[in-house]
């Protein structure tokens, strides 16, 4: 941001910049002295609390903010406390990633729609129709490498573009905001959500005291918490989730003009999530559900596709907001600033070796190309500093960029040499620069073609500050909540009740509800009631009052943006001996026309014998193919076959779960006996579709385009 922008908060308030502490009174108090065991004097916080120090014993004055030039200026490399803290955090695990350990990747290409020369000199955006190779890695954040896919968690969405002017890494998530505003708090965030250190559980779960203790002391996390407690945190698959660059970046054109930008990935198949009860059961039935879905889609030629869209804006537009565009806990609603399509990404090839590619790929936010630049977002500044450390520790050598998955696909030249496992050392006599060996002396810098940072001025005192413009922690959290449908709002409340019910300390539960009071009374009351609180806690102290006038944004809701298609989805058909083969064929043909796949489930994996004597193989045995693995189900049963299913508890669960998860269910007349056994109401709803003749198959698949029948009263 410009220097003029850095004083915006001062001009609005008429007061100088002040520090805004994120954790309330957690670090407040006057200092007292006590004598140490060796006679030395130690400082303690009033009440006997020890003072935080560096590993060298240096007392820490501020553990909430990175040292920067001015409240909204760039981070300073001399910040030894941040450096030590992030350095130690980056090196805590070996060899798996500390965060995003469980991931899955695929190769593909990015195709540019039209030149963006007015916005950026980045080569990838210069020619219409040009295809750039990419490698994408999806992941969960909190779980270890062996955790299950359907944890309630943020999903990583990292894209490596192999452009003609070097590699560009867009390292984002499936949620457009983040928990914290300053990277100095990242180790604390991840420590809190990981397994508690004295017991090493829970795994890949945020439903425990440490996480909610931390979050309830960090009002800046409230917007992100709304997203993580929503259905966005339990996606149906990688193919059905959005991706975001999270931060505000810059585009710089050939004339040096800068434009702010936010990056969005929109899935062509539309968004889709699962119910929490469904996620729990999927993790038990198939902990590799997301991996398998991506693998099967690409293997079958149903290539996943996303559209890249940009929100671009100038300084004047940025100044028009009450919030700060450098704050990574904030977003710009698409109704205010539409996201413009600029290209598409298609994933069409799987790795040949998981370890060599998906595990060894090294994404770093600092990997940019000419025409793409950073903003002073304090979280982004810290990520730029941190990632190189992380990759060095994890991959064990400064030469990790020489691994094929990380190496540029364009020509590259440098003087870096030696080190562990170097196999691309400089050739010739000169291994330094400048030198006087002429053309044989190796590469030279190029001010005309190289990356140049925007010559942005920074001003202000060198201090650990948080700008006042970062102080509104509740308004956009409320905006997200009111943007959801009633069903989605209930899911958020239910998720909070579930998570906080796992918290042992009542004071943490109440403290968290006190933040919800600032977000929305309906949400606070629902959670308080679900937790059995005797009364609603007093609202948490707020640095700024909640702005209740922010308009809802339909773009923030999954259910307000239905795909309108069953394409890419999966139909599970439970079959028995004696069925009409023609009806099964009709279902499979109708699904194929929709762009969906069909998998057959039977009492035995060997299959069933149709009424005409045809042997029909199955993909799953009934207890290995529960209905949670499918987007819609059908039960094709003969009279005798239905009687046999009644004796199988997995068959009853198949129907009961499909109903409880609001799925469309097609059925033959004989299958109705199974409905009663599974506890379904005697009066069928509109999502229970009879299958009596071949023509019914098309009608059933058309109905399935709605994905779920939310009007069902007794769902999960």
**Residues involved in catalysis:** 100, 173
Task: Provide the phi-psi class of 24: left if phi over 0, else alpha when psi is between -120 and 50, else beta.
Answer: left
C-alpha angle with apex 709: 703 to 715, nearest 5 degrees? Answer: 150
Query: Helices 649-660 and 639-646 sit at what angle, rounded to 10 degrees?
Result: 90
Encoding tokens for residue 436?
A: 């006087």
Reading phi first (left if > 0) and then psi (alpha if -120 to 50, else beta), residue 429 is in: alpha
Please state, in angstroms and rounded to a whole number, the distance separating the CA atoms of residues 11 and 28. Answer: 28
CA atoms within 13 A on the CB side of 555: 16
- Structure token pair of residue 575: 């079959």
Rounded-to-10 torsion of CA 306, 308, 311, 314: 170
Cβ-proximal residues to 468 (8 Å cutoff; 6+ apart), any chain: 9, 10, 13, 17, 18, 20, 71
Place of tokens 């996620």: 279
Distance CA 249, CA 374 (A): 5
Burial 347-381 (b: 16+ CB within 10 A, else e): beebbeeeeebbbbbbbbbebbbbbbbbbbbbbbb
What distances in angstroms separate CA 373 from CA 122, 247, 553, one per listed residue?
A: 10, 12, 29
User: Angle formed by the axes of helices 506-519 and 521-531, to 10°?
Assistant: 160
Task: For residue 454, give the 3-state DSSP assignment.
Answer: coil
76 contacts: CB under 8 Å, gap ≥ 6 = 66, 67, 68, 69, 462
- Is the bond preceding 406 in cis, omega lying within 30 degrees of 0? no
Give the list of residues 6+ apart from residue 623 with CB closer than 8 angstroms, or none: 650
Instruction: Enter the DSSP assignment of 176.
Output: S
């Amino acid at each position: 941001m410009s220097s003029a922008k850095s004083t915006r908060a001062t001009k609005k308030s008429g007061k100088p910049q002040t520090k805004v502490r994120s954790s309330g009174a957690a670090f407040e108090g006057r200092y007292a002295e006590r004598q140490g065991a060796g006679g030395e004097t130690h400082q303690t916080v009033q009440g006997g609390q020890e003072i935080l120090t560096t590993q060298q014993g240096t007392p820490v004055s501020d553990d909430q903010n990175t040292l920067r030039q001015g409240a909204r200026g760039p981070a300073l490399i001399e910040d030894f406390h941040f450096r030590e803290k992030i350095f130690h955090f980056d090196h805590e695990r070996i060899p798996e990633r500390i965060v995003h350990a469980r991931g899955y990747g695929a190769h593909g290409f990015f195709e540019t729609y039209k030149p963006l020369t007015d916005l950026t000199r980045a080569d990838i955006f210069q020619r219409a129709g040009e295809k750039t190779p990419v490698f994408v890695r999806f992941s969960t954040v909190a779980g270890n490498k062996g955790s299950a896919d359907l944890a309630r968690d943020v999903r990583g969405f990292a894209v490596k573009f192999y452009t003609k002017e070097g590699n560009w890494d867009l390292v984002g998530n499936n949620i457009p905001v983040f928990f914290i505003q300053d990277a100095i708090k990242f180790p604390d965030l991840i420590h809190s959500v990981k397994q508690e250190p004295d017991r090493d559980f829970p795994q890949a779960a945020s439903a425990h005291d440490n996480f909610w203790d931390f979050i309830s002391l960090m009002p800046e996390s409230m917007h992100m918490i709304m997203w993580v407690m929503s259905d966005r945190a339990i996606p149906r698959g990688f193919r059905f989730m959005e991706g975001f660059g999270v931060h505000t970046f810059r585009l710089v054109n050939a004339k040096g003009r800068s434009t702010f930008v936010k990056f969005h990935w929109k899935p062509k198949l539309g968004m889709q999530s699962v119910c929490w009860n469904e996620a729990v059961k999927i993790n038990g039935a198939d902990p590799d559900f997301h991996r398998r879905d991506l693998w099967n889609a690409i293997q079958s030629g149903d290539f996943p596709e996303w559209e890249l869209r940009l929100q671009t804006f100038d300084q004047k537009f940025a100044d028009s907001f009450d919030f700060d565009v450098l704050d990574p806990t904030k977003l710009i609603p698409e109704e205010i600033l539409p996201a413009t399509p600029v290209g598409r990404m298609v994933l069409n090839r799987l790795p040949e070796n998981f370890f060599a590619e998906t595990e060894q790929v090294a994404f770093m936010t600092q990997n940019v190309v000419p025409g793409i630049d950073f903003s002073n977002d304090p979280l982004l500044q810290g990520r730029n500093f941190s990632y190189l450390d992380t990759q060095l520790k994890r991959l064990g050598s400064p030469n990790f960029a020489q691994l094929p998955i990380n190496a540029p696909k364009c020509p590259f030249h440098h003087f870096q040499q030696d080190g562990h496992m170097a196999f691309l050392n400089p050739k010739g006599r000169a291994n330094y620069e400048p030198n006087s060996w002429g053309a044989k002396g190796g590469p030279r810098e190029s001010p005309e073609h190289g990356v140049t940072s925007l010559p942005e001025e920074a001003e202000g005192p060198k201090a650990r500050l948080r700008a006042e413009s970062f102080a509104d922690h509740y308004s956009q959290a409320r905006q997200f909540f009111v943007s959801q449908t009633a069903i989605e709002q209930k899911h958020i409340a239910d998720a909070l009740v579930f998570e906080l019910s796992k918290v042992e300390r009542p004071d943490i539960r109440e403290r968290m509800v006190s933040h919800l009071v600032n977000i929305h009374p309906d949400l606070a009351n629902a959670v308080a009631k679900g937790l059995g609180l005797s009364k609603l806690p007093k609202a948490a102290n707020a640095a700024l009052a909640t702005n209740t006038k922010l308009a809802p944004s339909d773009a923030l809701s999954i259910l307000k943006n239905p795909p309108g298609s069953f394409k890419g989805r999966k139909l599970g058909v439970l079959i028995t001996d004696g069925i009409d083969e023609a009806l099964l064929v009709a279902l499979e043909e109708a699904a194929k026309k929709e762009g969906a796949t069909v998998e057959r489930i039977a009492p035995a994996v060997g299959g069933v014998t149709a009424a005409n004597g045809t042997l029909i193989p199955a993909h799953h045995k009934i207890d290995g193919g529960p209905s949670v693995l499918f987007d819609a189900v059908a039960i094709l049963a003969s009279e005798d076959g239905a009687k046999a299913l009644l004796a199988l508890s997995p068959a009853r669960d198949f129907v009961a779960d499909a109903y409880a998860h609001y799925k469309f269910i097609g059925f033959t007349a004989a299958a109705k006996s199974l409905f009663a056994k599974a506890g379904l109401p005697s009066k069928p709803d509109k999502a229970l579709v009879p299958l009596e003749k071949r023509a019914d198959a098309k009608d059933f698949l058309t109905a399935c385009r709605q994905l779920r029948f939310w009007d069902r009263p007794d769902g999960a």
